[in-house]
Structures are given as structure tokens and as C-alpha cells.
Amino acid sequence: MVWRILLGILLTLVIIAAFAFPIVPAPTSLFEFPLIPGLEEKARIIFFHVPTAWLSVMAFFTGMFYGIRYLRKRDIRDDLRSSAAAGLGLMFCILATVTGMIWAKFNWGSFWNWDPRETSIFVLLLIYGAYFALRSAVEVEEKRATLSAVYSIIAAVTVPFFVFIMPRIMTGLHPGAAGDPEGAGPVIEFKMSGGMRMVFFTSLFAFTLLYIWMFTLRVRAALLEYHHQSKG
Amino acid sequence: MPVVERSARRWLRSTVAVFLKDWRSELRTRYAISALGMFVVTTLSMIMFSLAGETPSLEVLAGMLWVVIFFAAMSGLSRTFVTEEERGTSMTLQLQAPPSAVYFGKLLFNLVLGAGLTLLTVVLYAVFITGFVVTSYGVFAAAIVLGSIGLSAASTIIAAIIARANTKGTLYPVLSFPILLPVLMTAIRATRMACEGTTWTDAGGEFQVLISYIVVVVTASYMLFEYIWKD
């Protein structure tokens, strides 16, 4: 209970900080963000867009983890966990895509540019869609669990090509792509001041906690439903 | 170690037996071969109608070649597993051969089918589509061969999944497309490079991606096939 209240306070602080801290040419305190040419006020998206994209990938690997566990132990509850993670992943994936698209319209000129990172989130969306299509096509519980677990693993071994390798080796619009003057690689060092980095990592941490909370809630609901059905 | 050697030889024999069984039953009905062949012919004539004598750029032509190959593969490569379920022979096959032998036998069959399909498409494409000119033949051959292997490898494991689901036809391209996208995008890029006359060293990165993709997919499929195959 306590940590949920703390999470609420933390997320409120992140939202206030992300929107209210002024953007100045030369930040002097932790409560000011630097002015980045070409981004200006639009730089604030990083506090919400990146955590949602991060969670959609994390949910994907959580789903794969429980998929592997299901194949090893044949416990149907692991399958429920796997699909709960995939459901959350789909939601965060849509959020990341939509926020990114609106932002891209104003910063890069069009909603969709086939930048490598846009391609990778699109593939992730397709995989989530295919995963749920496959689940709805199989009626027998064990079979559905096995097939969707295998599919999520197959997807997880091929998708890193997109999410982790392609955005780095190809030129693109996102920071961290090849040809970026700041250098290709993780984007942590990207032009952020100390204050910005503080808000960013707090946001990442708070979103991760939020994900864990949502995940446990969904699993509890799914388990209750399962027991209810198997009794009645 | 004669025991190991003997079991390896037995495994190889059942792999080849699975392949030959599929091959013979295919030659008897010629279902997949004629479906694939007709699919390629109809799609190509469709493209020729819609081009109406225009010559699009090499990028478009290289992409279209793989569009034809992808959808043709989606129409035929699931047969090998779906027929087992339709005829009700999968139980017998489970008793006769170990899962890995079944997987590699079917993979071999799909590799042959995929190779034939890409060969047919490329030949017809080169003959009928004006403006499709290949400059570096070696790079082109490597792109086609590796792309075809990657396509067949990934479609084999998806076909095994699809055969167990209730809807056999419609879901196949839906499930395959996101898995196949790395292969398709790299193969399209490599094909375009071959048409533009890129040298081996410049196109090397694409082939590294294709080869590692094939290794990863075949290894993962080999490890996971048993779970799909056994009831």
C-alpha cells in the first residue's frame, strides 16, 4: 500500500517537473532544462515517450520469459502471466507509437517517416497483433498456451535485429542512429543536462514500477477469472 | 563411439525418409508445386498489366520481386505440415521418427520448394519485366540464395504452429510477416545493391545479417519444435 502512494507521488512529481521546469539557454540549477536547437519545448516528450517504448520492449521480454517457463513447467498460470504481459506491452506499444507520431508531425514534418526505430516499433506492434490473433485461433487451453509461447520465443529471437541492431547501424532521425553527430549508441548521454537526466531516470523508474503494479493486478484478475471458470 | 555413430546414422536416415516421403506425396498430387507456380505466374502478369509498359526504378523492381516471392511462399510452404493434420497422419509420424528428424526433413522439403519457387520467379522476372538488369551477378545470386533459405527456414516453424491452430490458411502470412521482415528487408536491399553493381565488400554487411538470421531461426526452431509437434 505504502509503495503505491509513493509511486503516485513520484509520478505526480515527474509530470510536474516534465512540464513546468523552464527551458533556458544556459541552465544553472537542477530545475532548469537546457535549450536544444531544433527541439526547444518539444524536447519534453523524452520523459514520456521513451519510458512507454521501454515498457513495450520490457513487457515483450516478460511475455517471453513466462512463455519459456510455461514450456518447462506446463503450469497454465504462466501462460496467463505471459498473455497479461503481452496485453500491457500492446498498450504501451500503441502509446509509444501514437505519442511519437504526433510529435513527429510537428518536428519532422510527417506522421510517419520509416525511420529505423519507427520500423522497429511497427514490427513490435505487428508481433503483438499476430500473437493475439494466434491466441484467438486456438480453443484448447494447453495448445493455445504452447503455441503462443513458442511464437513469442521465435519472435523474441528475431526481433532484436530490429529493436537493438538496426536503429544503431542505419541512419535515421532518432538520436543514437548511425551518423548522429553525438555518436551512435545508447542515448543516455544525449545532450541532457543533469536536471533533465534526473527527471528522465525518475520517470523511467516510476514507469517501470507502474508497469509492475499493472502487471500484478492483471495477473491477479486473470487468475481469479481462471479459478472461477474452472470451478463453475 | 559406435553407439553415438549408429544413432546419428539412424537420425539421418529418418530425416531423409521424412523428406523423401513428403517429396513423393507431393509428386503424386503436385498440389504445392502447381499452386506455387500458378501463383507466381498470376502475380507477375498482374504486375505487368499494372506497369503498362512503364519502367519503374530499380528500387521498386527489387522490392516487387520479393513481394512476389513472399506471397507465393505464403501460399504453398505451409502444405507440408497442414497435410499431416488433414490426412490425420501426424500421430503415425510421431511414432515413426524423432521430432528433430521430422523438423529437419520438413525443413529440407521446404528449402527445396522455396529454392524452386525463387528460381522460377527470378527467371520469369528477368525475362518479362523490362528494366530489371542485374549488374553484379555474384551478389545477386548470394542475395537470392540466402534470402530464399531464410524465408523457408522461418516459414517452416510458423507452418508447424499454424497446422496446430484452427485456422490454417488466413493466419499464416499474419504470423510470418513480422518474423520474416528482417530477411525481406535485407534481401531487398541486397538485391537492389546487386542491380546497382555494388561489390562484395560493400554488400557484405547484408549477407552477415542474413546468415546470422538463418542460424538463429534454425537453432530456435530445432529447440522449440518438439513442444509444438508432440501432443
Say yes or no: B35 contacts chain A, CB-CB below 8 A.
no
Lowest mean pLDDT across A64-68, A198-202, B176-180: A198-202
Rounded Cα gap, residues A156 and A143, in angstroms: 20
Of A134, A155, A158, the CB nearest to B213: A158
Query: Could you report the per-residue pLDDT of A18-33, keeping only the tens digit for each?
Result: 888 887 777 777 777 7
Rounded Cα gap, residues B224 and B218, in angstroms: 10
Rounded Cα gap, residues A56 and B222, in angstroms: 28
Cβ pair B175:A138 closer than 8 A: no
Query: What is residue A149's three-state secondary structure?
Result: helix
Binning pLDDT at 50, 70 and 90, where does residue A213 land? very high
Bridging pattern class, strands A33-34 and A23-24: parallel
Alpha carbon of B69 to those of A153, A168, B107: distances in Å? 26, 29, 18
**Under 8 Å between Cβ of B117 and B155:** no
Inform me whether the pLDDT recorded for B132 exceeds 70. yes
Query: What is residue A33's three-state secondary structure?
Result: strand
**Under 8 Å between Cβ of A166 and A100:** no
Tell me what pLDDT residue A177 has. 66
Angle at the Cα of B153 from the Cα atoms of A67 and B36, rounded to 5 degrees? 125
Q: Tell me which H or E stretch contains B8.
A: helix B2-29
Tell me what pLDDT residue A171 has. 63
Residue B66 C-alpha cell reads as: 520479393
Tell me which residue has cell 509530470: A15
Handedness of CA A156, A118, B151, B230 (dihedral sign): positive
**How far is B127 from chain A, CA to nearest CA, in Å?**
32
Tell me what pLDDT residue B67 has. 92
Which whole number is the average pLDDT over B92-120? Answer: 92
Per-residue burial over B130-150, b if 16 or more Cβ lie within 10 Å, else e, is eebebebeebbebbbebbbbb
Cβ pair B175:A162 closer than 8 A: no
DSSP state of A40: G
Average pLDDT of every residue of chain B? 89
Say yes or no: B211 contacts chain A, CB-CB below 8 A.
no
What is the residue extent of each domain of chain A? Answer: 40-231
Tell me which residues of chain A have a C-beta less than 8 Å from any C-beta of chain B.
71, 119, 123, 126-127, 129-130, 133-134, 137-139, 143, 146-147, 149-151, 153-155, 157-159, 161-162, 169
| Helices (H) then strands (E): counts for chain B | 9, 0
Find chain B residues with C-beta within 8 A of A147's C-beta.
Answer: 161, 164-165, 228
**How far is B65 from chain A, CA to nearest CA, in Å?**
21
Residue B122 C-alpha cell reads as: 527470378
Inform me whether the pLDDT recorded for B26 exceeds 80. yes
Which whole number is the average pLDDT over B143-153? Answer: 95
Rounded Cα gap, residues A135 and A139, in angstroms: 8
Rounded Cα gap, residues A72 and A68, in angstroms: 6
Rounded Cα gap, residues B219 and B207, in angstroms: 18
Tell me what pLDDT residue B223 has. 93
Cβ pair A134:B165 closer than 8 A: yes
Tell me what pLDDT residue A186 has. 47
Of B166, B179, B205, the CB nearest to A154: B179
Q: Which of residues 142-201 of B touch A (CB under 8 A)?
A: 154, 157-158, 161, 164-167, 171, 174-175, 177-179, 181-182, 185
Tell me what pLDDT residue A230 has. 82
DSSP state of A22: P
Phi-psi region of A183 (alpha: psi -120 to 50; beta: other; left: phi over 0): left
**Under 8 Å between Cβ of B67 and B151:** no
Rounded Cα gap, residues A153 and A127, in angstroms: 11
Find chain B residues with C-beta within 8 A of A146's C-beta.
Answer: 227-228
Residue B16 C-alpha cell reads as: 531423409
Phi-psi region of B17 (alpha: psi -120 to 50; beta: other; left: phi over 0): alpha
Tell me what pLDDT residue A89 has. 93
Tell me what pLDDT residue A188 has. 44
Query: Could you report the per-residue pLDDT of B30-58, keeping only the tens digit for each?
Result: 888 888 899 999 999 998 888 887 888 88
Query: Could you report the per-residue pLDDT of A141-198, keeping only the tens digit for each?
Result: 889 999 999 999 999 888 776 666 666 666 666 776 665 655 544 444 456 677 788 8
**Residue at A57: amino acid letter:** V
Rounded Cα gap, residues B179 and B133, in angstroms: 29
Inform me whether the pLDDT recorded for B172 exceeds 70. yes
**Residue at A135: amino acid letter:** R
Which whole number is the average pLDDT over A207-216? Answer: 93
Single pTM value for the model: 0.87
Exposed/middle/buried for residue B158 (C-beta within 10 Å: 0-12, 13-18, 19+): buried
Best of B90, B151, B175, B215 to substitute, by most chain A Cβ atoms within 10 angstroms, is: B175
Which whole number is the average pLDDT over B145-172? Answer: 89
Inform me whether the pLDDT recorded for B214 exceeds 50. yes
Quote the distance between the C-alpha of residue A220 and its chain's center. 22
- Of residues A143, A102, A168, the one with CA closest to residue B231: A143
Half-sphere exposure (Cβ direction) of A23: Cα atoms closer than 13 Å = 12
Of B174, B182, B216, the CB nearest to A130: B174
Inform me whether the pLDDT recorded for A4 exceeds 90. no
Tell me what pLDDT residue A163 has. 63
In sequence order, what are the residues at sequence separation of 6 or more whose Cβ sits closer than 8 angstroms to the Cβ of residue A107?
A38, A39, A42
Query: Could you report the per-residue pLDDT of B73-85, keeping only the tens digit for each?
Result: 998 888 888 888 8
Query: What is residue A217's three-state secondary structure?
Result: helix
Best of A151, A152, A164, A171 to substitute, by most chain B Cβ atoms within 10 angstroms, is: A151
Q: Please report the number of interchain residue pairs, chain A to chain B, with beta-carbon separation below 8 angstroms.
A: 74
In sequence order, what are the residues at sequence separation of 6 or more whose Cβ sits closer than 8 angstroms to the Cβ of residue B208?
none
Alpha carbon of B5 to those of B8, B10, B11, B223: distances in Å? 5, 9, 10, 21
Residue B195 C-alpha cell reads as: 542491380
Find chain B residues with C-beta within 8 A of A71's C-beta.
Answer: 224, 227
Lowest mean pLDDT across A108-122, B94-108, B118-132: A108-122
Find chain A residues with C-beta within 8 A of B227's C-beta.
Answer: 71, 146, 149-150
Cβ pair A126:B177 closer than 8 A: yes
Tell me which residue has cell 497435410: B83
Say yes or no: B227 contacts chain A, CB-CB below 8 A.
yes
Cβ pair B178:A155 closer than 8 A: yes
Q: Enumerate the β-bridge partners of residue A171.
A: A178
Lowest mean pLDDT across A19-28, A108-117, A212-221, B84-93: A19-28
Cβ pair B224:A130 closer than 8 A: no
Tell me what pLDDT residue B78 has. 87
